[in-house]
Chains A and B, each alone.
Chain A
Amino acid sequence: MNPTDSKTNPGQVNRRQFLRDGGRATAVASLGGLLGMVLGRSQAEGYVWQIDPSKCVYCGNCATHCVLEQSAVKCVHAYAMCGYCQLCTGYFEPEPNALNTGAENCQCPTAAIQRTYVEDPYYEYTIDEDLCIGCAKCVDGCTRFGNGSLFLQIRHDRCVNCNECAISKVCAGDAFVRVPASQPYLLKTQH
């Protein structure tokens, strides 16, 4: 009711206060202990998720398991590795009807790969990331039958960097790794 009232049983109040102080000391100590244990393992730089292209088995889960409706995983092109083939095994269906850009010949379900003529007999293939859904059909074709210059990467302008990447749990190649945010890509290169 009021402060004087609680003095009717000072012993009980003191005991409760003592327990509470003890509890708080324990809580602070355990929090401090935990902090001490993990502080040595902490680092200023955060992690982001990335696909190790050497482990990727281009299974197609990236297109369907990202928390974003349109996956943050996109096909990326290492142009220096590309053979600029006229018959691009990433671009064309197996045994294409003709080597032209008709839909019946193309693998990409969203027409995200653009094929442009460079010089005889070379063609350049570029990815329109607004259209790419990361289904890896082209990566499959390029890696198995071509130079492997097309590969999947998580694009960090789209990735929301989930605490635990939803695709990583279903990745058939176990290719999802946490990488330092300052070096967020594992690009394919060739010297």
Chain B
Amino acid sequence: MSSLLARLGGGNEWRLTAWVAGVFAVLLGLGMAAGYLHAGRTDPIDAPRLKALKLELQARPQDEALKQQIRALDLVLRETYFTRLSRTSTGLYLLLGAVTLFLIANGRIANGRKRLPVLKAGVPGLPPPENKGWSRWAVAGTGAALAVFLFLLSLGFTSALPGDAEALEALFGPAPTDAPVMDAASPEEMRQNWPRLFGANAGLAFSSQAPSSWDTNSGAGIAWKVPAPAPGFNSPIVWGDRAYFSGGPPEKLEVLCVNLADGQVAWRQTVADVAGTPKGDLEIPESTGYTAPTMATDGRRVYAIFANGNVAAYSLDGSHVWTKAFGALGNPYGHAISLATWQDRLVVQLDQGDSEDGKSKLYLLNGRTGEIVWQKPRKVGASWTTPVVFEAADKSQVAALAVPWVISYDLKDGSELWRVDCLNGEVTPSPIFVGGLLLITSPSDRVVAIRPDGQGDVTKTHMAWENDDNVPDVTTPASNGELMFSVTTGGTLTCLEVKTGTKVWEHEMDMDYHASPTISGNRVYLFSQSGVAVIVEAGREFKELFRTGMGDSFHATPAFTADHRMVVRGMSYLWCLKGAANEVQSP
């Protein structure tokens, strides 16, 4: 024995080590392979014998011996399976160790033997020329083999898959034609309604005859007033004869639909059971809450987003269409960016965290399914402004704001069209699109007008004007196309010329505002936090037309209907005010 070892080792302990490790590895490997072949896949999942026994038991339910047999077999099966698992794992580690040892030993032996070549005298100085002929044939051969392989694979290929839309129709009949190509309301319908925060037209109502006066005490001019159906800071939207908004405490977030006829809740849906909803406390301050973002509609479905990153879509009559969880959104005040729609698509701007976090994104979702049409990472931090959708320079654009950039994207594919560096602070007032200009409010800093037909960084080239008089910090300006009205939180009302940005007038209201101004006809509506409503003339000189205390507190921007009413959401009540024209219609 010792002589055999000596011969194998050749007097060298590394040689011996290599032999032992090598033989051990080979034997172990063979043993494991044999074990594997012998056992096959002894999954306990499909155990035919166990199944058969269980079937037998159904025929003889009282057979105790059979039960014992099943239990014994079950135990054996499970033990075999888990023993095999642990054995395989141990075996692999041993094998790895043995192979490593073998390699180390061999390396040592090779080191010991290393001998670099020695040239003999008289060998010709240069090597013979290479013969590349064989190489050429080998390349050609590989290519030919591959070609034959592909050819054989494609031989006799048949597929039942229809080749084009016509063949598909032949199989399943024509595609349902009642589904329009674009499943959304027309731009004209959108203009007549109030499909999003600030409506479809920069805070200007379709009707020019919205209420001019009302009286809380006598009820004159008030269609109805109901206690707020659900708490929340978001503003109502209007489609047809219904208003929609979201609300509720964090544990019961709801989408509500109210009949404009009587103020009764037509339907309310709790947004629950969304897979991926973040768990635990999201530390969202109560002053913002989970329902700060305003809903949006494309005239076929209504959409809501909540501060926990859940987005929900319901049909106009309240049936569930889809829900989607984007996960917790990093935002010190809670997510507050409202939704916007374009055709049957939903724009979701999720700006969050810091610009370095790389978490901010702009999404375009398919409104019918909730699928992501495109998404665009944004290298910006948290923001609170609502994106604005508009048509300019022959493109459907959406402009999204976050410090320091105003960036416009092509809605078709999400490609970036242009950007302007003009924002400071915590951007909250939203952009509006008026008279071919995009009016951007950098809070308490300046209002900037941008011509939206540029490409790339157009900071230096496409700013039409800027104005730093009484710039609002929370509310969004409203415009009738000629003049723009803005109000600061502290109550300074300012009127600017849209074309030039020159200040026309300013007036101190001495009230605090969170609700943005809105316009109908020649009236600008202002609803203060202290519950006072004021109407001023939308003209070149300041003129107060109406003032009334309403015994409520307003943070939400009102919504207007095509038939001259307006829906106002107070903290205590939901109001519907009717215009003078409504009085005539309903004698």
Residues on A facing B (Cβ under 8 Å): 40-45, 52-54, 60, 63-64, 69-70, 93, 95, 97, 102-104, 109-111, 131, 133, 135, 137, 179-180, 182-183, 186-191
Contacts and interface: CB of A to CB of B under 8 A. Distances in A.
A141 to B, nearest CB: 15
Interface in B61-97: 61, 66-67, 70-71, 74-75, 77-78, 81-82, 85, 88
A179 B276 CA distance: 10
B71 A183 contact: no
B57 interface: yes
Contact of A41 (B57, B278, B377): B377
Contacts of A54: 275
B252 interface: yes
B85 A69 contact: yes
B277 to A, nearest CB: 6
Given A64-B43, A104-B54, A183-B276, 6 more contacts: A44-B358, A45-B359, A109-B78, A110-B78, A183-B278, A189-B279
A94 to B, nearest CB: 10
Contact of A70 (B57, B85, B252, B359): B85
Contacts of A104: 53-54, 57, 66-67, 70-71
Contacts of A93: 54
Contact of B74 (A40, A43, A103, A183): A103
Nearest to A185: B276
Contacts of A137: 45
B85 A188 contact: no
B272 interface: yes
Contacts of B43: 63-64, 109, 133
B70 A103 contact: yes
B284 to A, nearest CB: 17
B265 interface: no
Contact of A102 (B45, B71, B272, B273): B71
Nearest to A103: B74
A103 B272 contact: no
A180 B75 CA distance: 40
A64 B276 contact: no
Contacts of B188: none
17 contacts: A40-B377, A43-B358, A64-B45, A93-B54, A103-B71, A103-B74, A104-B53, A104-B71, A110-B78, A111-B74, A180-B327, A182-B327, A187-B275, A187-B279, A188-B275, A189-B272, A190-B273
B44 interface: yes
Contact of A190 (B44, B88, B272): B272
Contact of A189 (B70, B75, B273): B273
Interface string B244-271: 0000000110000000000000000010
Given A97-B67, A179-B276, A191 B270 contact: yes
Contact of B45 (A41, A60, A179, A183): A60
A83 to B, nearest CB: 16
Contacts of B357: 44
Interface residues of B, number: 38
Interface centre among A102, A110, A187, A190 (most CB of B within 10 A): A110
B327 A52 contact: no
B26 interface: no
Given A52-B275, A103-B75, A95 B45 contact: no
B85 A183 contact: no
A188 B275 CA distance: 6
Contacts of A63: 43, 45
Nearest to A190: B273
Q: Which 4 A-B pairs have the closest CB atoms?
A: A103-B74, A109-B44, A191-B272, A104-B70
Nearest to B376: A40
Interface string B198-233: 000000000000000000000000000000000000
A40 B66 CA distance: 65
B79 to A, nearest CB: 11
A186 B279 CA distance: 11
Contacts of B377: 40-43
B71 A191 contact: no
Nearest to B416: A40
Contacts of A110: 44, 78, 81-82
B461 to A, nearest CB: 23
B3 interface: no
B47 interface: yes
A69 B54 contact: no
Nearest to B84: A69
Contacts of B81: 110
Contact of A45 (B53, B70, B358): B358
Given A40-B377, A102-B67, A188-B275, A97 B45 contact: no
A183 B327 contact: yes
A133 to B, nearest CB: 7
Interface string B32-55: 000000000001110100000110
A79 to B, nearest CB: 13
A97 B61 contact: yes
Contacts of A190: 272-273
A85 to B, nearest CB: 20
Nearest to A188: B275
Nearest to A104: B70
A189 B377 CA distance: 29
B585 interface: no
A97 B77 CA distance: 21
Contacts of A131: 82
A76 to B, nearest CB: 12
